[in-house]
Amino acid sequence: MSEMRDATFEEGAQRPLRLKALDGDDVQVISALVQDSVLPASEMSWRRSERRFGMLLNRFRWEDPATTREAERVQAVLCIENVMAVRSQGLDPKDRDTVLSILALVFEPGEDGAGTLRLILAGDGEIAVEVEALEVILRDVTRPYGAPSGKAPKHPE
């Protein structure tokens, strides 16, 4: 992944989102915000020596429907710290052009703060990230822009 700068906004404009999840409840909040995000497999990176797994994704701005246009997207970085191992299921690791769609993030706690963060993907794919201690960061890095289709997915209420 290339290095990204924070988005800059004019005075009074909505600020870029920055969240940190340190427990399962926090992960549920981030999961809701990255639901239906898409990214090419080439935009994922596990930096083993830094114990970090990250991805650059395009997400819908679900956080404030009252002030956000319906089909507004933003690029964001999702970074998982304290990573011990990363496994995938249902993905071809050689196909870096595959576009992945995130359905949910689920944290399964283990002992002493360790556990597995599962990224559930459309098409029965999954990425399991084993962590020594949970720390997930979601940070917007671009200004919002209209989704190319002009539509956001509809979810049952």
Tokens 């597995």 — which residue? Answer: 116
CA–CA distance, 96 with 39 (Å, rounded to integer): 10
State the average pLDDT over residues 94-105.
91
Q: What is the DSSP string of 92-113?
A: -TT-TTPEEEEEEEEEEE-STT
Q: For the stretch 49-69, what's the b/e string if a residue is b when 16 or more beta carbons lie within 10 angstroms of its beta carbon? A: eeebbbbbbbbbbbeeeeebe
pLDDT at residue 68 in the model: 58
Kindly state the tokens that stand for 101.
């769609």
How does DSSP classify residue 131? E
- Greater confidence (11 vs 157) lies with 157
pLDDT at residue 130 in the model: 97
Q: What is the pLDDT of residues 115-125, one digit of tens each?
A: 999 999 999 89
- Which residues are paired to 117 by β-bridges? 107, 129
- Greater confidence (97 vs 85) lies with 85
pLDDT at residue 143 in the model: 84
Q: What is the pLDDT of residues 42-82, one digit of tens each?
A: 999 999 999 999 999 999 888 766 665 667 889 999 999 99
pLDDT higher than 70, residue 100: yes
Segment among 31-40, 68-77, 87-96 with least mean pLDDT? 68-77
Tokens 């990363």 — which residue? Answer: 86
Exposed/middle/buried for 21, CB within 10 Å: 0-12, 13-18, 19+?
A: buried
- Greater confidence (106 vs 111) lies with 106
**Residue 110, amino acid:** G
pTM of the model: 0.83
Q: What is the pLDDT of residues 129-155, one digit of tens each?
A: 999 999 999 999 988 888 777 677 766
Contact status, residue 140 vs residue 16, Cβ threshold 8 Å = yes
